[in-house]
Amino acid sequence: MPEGDSIHRLAGRLAPVLVGRRVKSFRANEIAEDVAVTLVGQRIEDVVARGKNLLVRFEDGRTLHIHLRMLGRVRFERPRSTYWRPRIVPSQLRLEVEGAAVTGDRIPVLRLLRAGAEKRSPDLAGLGPDLLAEVVDEAECVRRLRGLGKRSIGEALLVQRALAGIGNIYKSETLFLERLDPSTPVADVSDEMLLALVRRASGLLKKNVRRGARVIRTSLGGPRFYVYGREGKPCFRCKTRIVMIRQGAAPGRSTYHCPRCQARPARAPAQPEPPQP
């Protein structure tokens, strides 16, 4: 499941293949042919990730915006010999440069942004701090989460305009490791706990950028996750069975948690009204 670590790792693999090279051919089902052909000859200036978004930037200021969501896939081929030729197979996306070809399928968001549009596009300009950035603006993450006070914390952690990069896996694992009930309203979560969640999620994401398989639970054997995908199985801490709930608008996003280890914070008692003079 592509989350922030997957997209940053993909950008890291594509950048050495694409940056500095000129486009030999380009085709995308969602982009008109007469527009797609104008990319041929363009030099690729950068390949970066922002949260779960992959951005390929060209010398004329345009940007290819890719969001894989749940099922999208991007692959690339590199020469294995001097006789290498790129395979020509039907695909939703095909970008070829000298010595390599990038293809993609089942990509729900695939569009070419005009020069300057990247900064104006609501779904990009409105993103919260990227948890995989070298320096994360933690205070801004807390501030944006606080603005989602009526939502449950399990829903809020997935709001990309609050903080970018978290998906179902990191949401579930972060909440488990910080021992917080995913149904807790953000309004009931302290700033200290919100900061702990931000730091925990950022640390887990950054650790897995450098891995092959995603690992949260470091162990010599057994599952790689504490709770994600383990509905009905015993918690590694207390042996209570892990529960999966749906959160957010129907059909809802899956959240896995331990009902015993993850508690709601106690509400502060209401202060009595001062006596009237």
Catalytic residues: 2-3, 52, 253
Whether the Cβ atoms of residue 143 and residue 103 lie closer than 8 Å to each other? no
For 104, the token pair is 């993609």
Q: Are strands 109-113 and 63-67 parallel, antiparallel or unpaired?
A: antiparallel
Instruction: Give the count of beta carbons closer than 10 Å to the beta carbon of residue 190.
Output: 10
Q: Output DSSP code: residue 80.
A: S
3-state helix, strand, coil in the chain (%, to 5): 25, 25, 50
Which tokens hold the place of 248? 């957010």
Radius of gyration of the chain (CA): 22
